[in-house]
A and B are shown apart, each in its own frame.
Chain A
Amino acid sequence: MVRPTDIRVPDYFHKVVDCQWACPAHTPVPEYIRLIAAGRYADAYMVNWTSNVFPGVLGRTCDRPCEPACRRGRVEENNGASPEPVAICRLKRVAADNKGDIAARLPRPDKPNGKRIACVGAGPASLTVARDLAPLGYDVTVFDGEAKAGGFIRTQIPRFRLPESVIDEETGYILGLGVKFRAGERIASLKSLLAQGYDAVFIGCGAPRGRDLDLPGRHEAAANIHIGIDWLASVSFGHIEKIGRRVIVLGGGNTAMDCCRSARRLGGDDVKVLVRSGFDEMKASPWEKEDAQHEGIPILDYHVPKAFLHEGGKLVGMTFERVRAQRDERGRRQLVPTGEPDVTVDCDDVLIAVGQENAFPWIERDSGIVFDEWNMPVVDKATFQSSLANVFFGGDAAFGPKNIIWAVAHGHDAAISIDKLLNGEDVGERPAPMVHLLSQKMGIHEWSYDNEISPDDRYKVPWAPSEKTLGNIKVEVELGFDTLTALKETQRCLNCDVQTVFTDKVCIECDACVDICPMDCISFTPNAEEAELRTQLTAPALNLAQDLYVSGELKTSRVMVKDEDVCLHCGLCAERCPTGAWDMHKYLIEMTHAGPGCRSKGACREAA
């Protein structure tokens, strides 16, 4: 027997908002999409800014874990030729592009509380810590070896994907909160930094070392073999402006995609990506692969690099072994040689983008930071605290390379830890989120959200003409949605945060909701174990990742079971319900950030 669902547990409805649940920073996606639909771009921007700090940057470059999670991609399945999620990421950009001046909405720093924080590195993790702590009165100093803030946002992401003005603007908002930025100061010793008496240190120095490939010929042909992330940084700073005509990019991640597209713009008219794994298993996001192919860059999979070929000290090509994927007896995927002859590809330059690694040469091993067997600092997964109580790690520096949105999420959590630590609280005690649940009923058939479901397919973001973009690495490829197209795209959002809330006491079991539900989500059935219950519904509940909403026992001793999986949140169940047993409630969950709200109740009262 399944027990009645306790909707008071914040996670229950949070999971229904698939996009927000999937977002590491838990950005309230449907909330800001509605604001964009209403033309309230600045409000939409601020919802984003509060939760993910870099809406303009992320609106162009985010890894978008929200989109594969989007319910739209599930409900369009078998209903259209190509089920596609809402273009959440590009809608975020619309908010950023059209917001106007938001300076007045930024927080003003509280009076100084006398506590000093050092952030190592000026990437997204450190800047998030600074953003969260500076307004509370902390004296935050950010150190970075480069001249400008942004970290990998600035050095790794090519300008044709992210104009520098956007980076300047959004890092500027943070540095403008009274944060001290010590540019060009690369920290060389943790010990000496600790000796400067900071109350807490946050290490967000990224994973700065690109992996190399030690193959025959690597040394001899070194002049034309480049480590991808270093090469991208040099391009970004303008140190490199040219590359050979024929370029091989090794690797299948997003860095490889940035490398090949950059090379294409710097003189490479025959650029190829060669990758060990199969095309579908590549780490790069599907849209980044598409973008590369769209620019005429072939991606050759199942090619394992074997040697660099050189003549007279000059690189002339590479040889590759052909492999295929095969499952071993334990079901693990393995690459085995096909036995075909090796492939030789001629080239002038090679970019190696086969991963990156952490490196902490500046942290003395006797500084008190404990390192594990992989030479990574031991960091608590929830608090981001290291073995030194006042030293915290976040972003790629904490658990290896991820992406911007994860770095932001780490930054928020580390900021909470620092705030609690410096207020004498238990860092391990994490704050609950702030949850609002409010009926959206405005009249008999009137809701305060637009419940009509748009049948439209996903809209494509327009691109600048390729003869223009391929000629200049600084010309942004994507033009962003115009506001009219953006409005149409917002209508594809299903408002998954407007929840179907069921009150069993008033249900008369008239079946009206079952009959009207377009997705056959609702059933009235005898209770059973969950596995059995999932099979005896109006439509089988096959997606085990999605919960069943089960009511208490009804008058006929049955229960109401709603499969959350493909609910359109259209509210027809609530419109058809004669007794108000169904109602549509907007569920707004906001993560608690550093500040009085994150502290335990006792401390709150004291502060008041």
Chain B
Amino acid sequence: MTFIAKPKLHHPTLPQNALCFTRRDYEGKISTLCAGCGHDSISAAIIQACWELNVEPHRLAKLSGIGCSSKTPDYFLGQSHGFNTVHGRMPSVLTGANLANRELLYLGVSGDGDSASIGIGQFVHAIRRGVNMTYIVENNGVYGLTKGQFSATADQGSTSKRGVVNADSPIDLVGLALQLGATYVGRSFSGDKAQLVPLIKGAIAHRGAAFLDVISPCVAFNNHAGSTKSYEYVRAHNDAVNRMDVIPEREEIAVDYAAGETIEVEQHDGSRLRLHKLDPDYDPRNRIAAMNYVQQHQALGEVVTGLLYVDAEAEDLHTHLKTSAKPFNQMQAAELSPGAGALLKINASFR
């Protein structure tokens, strides 16, 4: 937390994107989180990703629930839309917003408490419905705002700052997301922006439910020996399966890797995900294999990171429900409320 606002001065060479915005234009208010919080790094990665993608700030909506993680949307994209929901209800509000207006980009930011405990019911249904969104969980394994109790994602056997051992089984959000049909699933680490920024860019460009589990050490309550979500532990046990570049539509390929070293996935918007394999046998296009791989390596104590699964052909909730392509806010009263006659017709069709 800092008391002075970040000075407006910037580096003389600070570049602009296609919209003539600098990275600084995507910043928000000054963070009030603890110094060194992983969440601030994730905010910085979101800023970087949106700047690189030339996202028009007014075309993005950020939604969150309650918790340290859910405070962060105030600290990035200060010119975008935002909604801070009650605890754990972000996925439902996001689903509703998305149904009303499919023209915006939806960015859900949540934490392990908000998504794996109080909001787990909301989380699973938003995923399984295929809501077109980027859902980021800033996962630190503790309840930081209430001084460091284990959260539902804390590993069994890991210890709290005071030495208490966690006896409960953890909820693996990546495993859940894969099982529930998320069509873009990745895991990353707040301390590795080189990996995290492309993953966020790919997720924003993805059509369908994109889920990112980002391990984000809590420096105040979960960065000690015995924690499995500390900077040191994650660095020591990080098993990255691939490195990703997001290549915008029509941009020529810059680097040629030898055949078999890369996988290219074209997304529906024409952009391509180029995955440079770090594990030669890992293919993120195979959901069952991904689930097995993540489970096997998790059992070995490794933290599997990278783009774990992607289905480029995915469809989303709007396709399933055949909803209107036109946002509600562009419809006139007659379209929105066609009258009693129309209702009678609909009711009659069910009889």
Binding site for B on A (CB under 8 A): 74-79, 445-446, 451-453, 455, 508-512, 514-516, 518-521, 539-540, 542, 555-556, 566, 568, 570, 572, 575-579
| B37-45, B162-170, B203-211, B316-324 - interface stretch | B37-45
Which residues of chain A have C-beta atoms less than 8 A from B270's C-beta? none
Q: How far is the CB of B1 from chain A (nearest CB, A)?
A: 7
Q: In the bound complex, do residue A510 and residue B10 qualify as a contact, i.e. CB atoms below 8 Å apart? A: no
Of chain A, the residue at the smallest CB distance from B38 is A510
Choose among A508, A511, A575, A579 the residue that contacts B193 (Cβ–Cβ < 8 A). Answer: A511
Do B217 and A510 have beta carbons less than 8 Å apart?
Answer: yes
Known interface pairs A515-B44, A519-B9; 12 further A-B residue pairs with C-beta atoms within 8 A, sorted by A's residue number:
A453-B4, A455-B8, A508-B36, A509-B191, A510-B36, A510-B231, A516-B2, A520-B11, A521-B11, A568-B9, A576-B40, A577-B36
Q: A445–B3 contact, CB under 8 A? A: yes
Contact flags B39-67 to A (C-beta < 8 A → 1, else 0): 01101100000000000000000000000
**A90 vs B52: C-alpha distance when bound (angstroms):** 44
CB distance from B116 to the nearest CB of A (A): 23
Q: Cβ of A78: which chain B residues have Cβ within 8 Å of it? A: 12-14
B35 with A542: CB separation less than 8 A: no
Complex CA gap A556/B34 in Å reads 23
CB atoms of A75 and B36 under 8 A apart: no
B6 at interface, CB cutoff 8 A: yes
Min C-beta distance of A208 to chain B, whole Å: 45
The reply to whether the CB of B219 lies closer than 8 angstroms to some CB of chain A is yes
The reply to whether B35 and A576 contact each other, CB–CB distance below 8 Å, is yes
A578 touching B34, Cβ below 8 Å: yes
Count of A-B contacts judged by CB separation below 8 Å: 105
Expressed in whole angstroms, the Cα–Cα distance for A509 and B38 within the complex equals 11
> Which residue on chain B has the smallest CB distance to residue A443?
B3
A445 and B30 alpha carbons, distance in the complex (Å): 14
Closest residue of B by beta carbon distance from A74: B12
* Residue-wise interface mask of B (182-214) relative to A, using a CB-CB cutoff of 8 A (1 in contact, 0 not): 000000001101000000000000000000000
CA–CA, A79 and B9, complex, Å: 6
State whether A572 and B2 are in contact (beta carbons under 8 Å apart), knowing that A79-B10, A519-B9, A540-B13 are contacts in the complex: yes
Contact (Cβ within 8 A) B232 A542: no
A201 to B314, CA, bound (A): 91
Please, could you name 17 A-B residue pairs with CB atoms under 8 Å apart, sorted by A? Answer: A77-B12, A79-B12, A508-B219, A509-B191, A510-B36, A510-B37, A512-B35, A516-B2, A518-B7, A518-B8, A519-B10, A570-B7, A572-B2, A575-B2, A576-B35, A576-B40, A578-B37
Which residues in chain B, 2-26, are within 8 Å of chain A measured between CB atoms? 2-4, 6-14, 24
Q: Which B residues are CB-close (under 8 A) to A509?
A: 191, 231
In the complex, what distance in Å separates the CA atom of A540 from the CA atom of B14?
Answer: 10
B41 and A511 within 8 A (CB): yes
Could you say which residues of chain A place their CB within 8 Å of the CB of B2?
A: 445, 516, 572, 575-576
Q: Which residue of B lies closest to A519 (CB)?
A: B11
Cβ of A448 to closest chain B Cβ, rounded Å: 14
Is the C-beta of B223 less than 8 angstroms from some C-beta in chain A?
A: yes
C-alpha gap A510/B189 in the complex (Å):
10
Cβ A512 vs Cβ B14 within 8 A: no
B235 close to A (CB within 8 Å): yes
Q: Do the beta carbons of A542 and B13 come within 8 Å of each other?
A: yes
Q: List residues of chain A with CB within 8 A of the CB of B11.
A: 519-521, 539, 566
In the complex, what's the smallest C-beta–C-beta distance from A582 to chain B, in angstroms?
A: 10
The answer on a CB contact under 8 Å between A76 and B9 is yes
CB of A75 within 8 A of CB of B35, answer no
CA distance A78 to B14 in the complex (A): 9
Residues of A within 8 A of B4 (CB): 451-453, 570, 572
Q: How far is the CA of A555 from the CA of B9 in the complex (A)?
A: 32
A572 and B6 contacting across the interface, CB-CB below 8 Å: yes
Query: Which of chain B's residues have a CB closer than 8 A to the CB of A566?
Result: 11-12
Which B residues are in CB contact (< 8 Å) with A76? 9
Assess the A510–B7 pair: CB atoms within 8 A: no
Q: Nearest chain-B residue to A581 (Cβ)?
A: B36
Beyond A578-B34, A579-B36, whether A453 also contacts B231 by CB under 8 A is no
Contacts of A74 in B (CB 8 A): 12
B: number of interface residues (CB 8 Å): 33
**CB contact between B35 and one of A77, A521, A555, A575 (< 8 Å): that residue:** A575
Give chain B nearest CB distance to A79 CB in angstroms: 5
Chain B nearest CB from A559 CB (Å) reads 16
Contacts of B13 in A (CB 8 A): 78, 539-540, 542
Give the complex CA separation of A552 and B14 in angstroms: 28
> Are the CB atoms of B44 and A555 closer together than 8 Å?
no
Q: Let me know if A578 and B36 touch, CB within 8 A.
A: yes
Task: List residues of chain A with CB within 8 A of the CB of B6.
Answer: 516, 518, 572
A110 to B320, CA, bound (A): 96
Contacts of A540 in B (CB 8 A): 13
Instruction: Give the docked Cα–Cα distance between A508 and B191 (Å).
Output: 10
Asked whether, in the complex, the Cβ of A453 is within 8 Å of the Cβ of B34, the reply is no
Which residues of B have CB within 8 Å of A512? 35-37, 40-41
Alpha-carbon gap, A246 to B235, bound state (A): 79
Minimal beta-carbon separation of A442 from chain B (angstroms):
12
With a 10 A CB-CB cut-off, give which of B13, B34, B37, B220 has the most chain A CB atoms: B13
Chain B proximity of A512: nearest CB distance (Å): 5
Of all chain A residues, the one with the shortest Cβ separation from B230 is A508
Smallest Cβ-Cβ distance to B4: which chain A residue:
A452
Complex Cα–Cα for A514 and B4 (A): 17
Check if B231 sits within 8 Å of A508, measured CB to CB: yes
User: How far is it, in angstroms, between the C-alpha of A451 and the C-alpha of B231 when the chains are bound?
Assistant: 30
Closest to A539 in B: B11
Q: What are the nearest 5 A-B pairs in CB distance?
A: A578-B36, A453-B7, A515-B44, A578-B219, A539-B11
Q: Looking at A452, A455, A577, A578, which has the most chain B CB atoms within 10 Å of its CB?
A: A578
Cα of A184 to Cα of B341 in the assembled complex, Å? 115
Q: Could you tell me if B232 and A555 are in contact, using CB atoms closer than 8 angstroms?
A: yes
Q: A511 contacts B191, CB within 8 Å?
A: yes
Quote the shortest CB–CB distance from A12 to chain B (angstroms).
Answer: 22
Beyond A510-B219, A568-B9, whether A556 also contacts B235 by CB under 8 A is: yes
Within 8 A of A (CB), among B88-142: none
A511 partner residues in chain B, CB cutoff 8 A: 41, 44, 190-191, 193
User: Closest approach, in angstroms, between the C-beta of A517 and any C-beta of chain B?
Assistant: 9
Q: B75-96 vs A: 1/0 string, CB under 8 Å?
A: 0000000000000000000000
Which residues of A lie under 8 Å from residue B12 when comparing CB positions? Answer: 74-75, 77-79, 566
Closest to B223 in A: A508
- Closest A residue to B235 by beta carbon equals A556
Chain B nearest CB from A532 CB (Å) reads 18
| Chain B residues, Cβ within 8 Å of A578 | 34-37, 219-220
How many angstroms from the CA of A381 to the CA of B24 in the assembled complex?
48
A516: B residues at CB distance < 8 A: 2, 6, 40
Chain B, residues 220-239, CB within 8 Å of chain A (1/0): the string is: 10010000000110010000
| Best-surrounded residue of A75, A511, A556 (most CB of chain B within 10 A) | A511
**Residues on B with beta carbons closer than 8 Å to the beta carbon of A445:** 1-3
Do the beta carbons of B44 and A518 come within 8 Å of each other?
Answer: no
Complexed CA–CA distance, A540 and B8 (Å): 19
Question: Which residue of A75, A515, A556 contacts B9 across the interface (Cβ within 8 Å)?
Answer: A75
**Could you tell me the distance in whole angstroms from the C-beta of A403 to the nearest C-beta in chain B?**
30
* B41-A515 in contact (CB<8A): yes
Measured CB to CB, the closest approach of chain B to A187, in angstroms, equals 53
A508→B35 contact, CB < 8 A: no
Residue pair A510, B14 in contact (C-beta under 8 Å): no
If the complex has contacts A509-B231, A511-B41, are A518 and B9 also in contact, measured as CB distance less than 8 A? Answer: yes
Measured CB to CB, the closest approach of chain B to A454, in angstroms, equals 9
Contact B36 A576 (CB under 8 A): yes
Q: Which residues of B contact A446 (CB under 8 A)?
A: 3
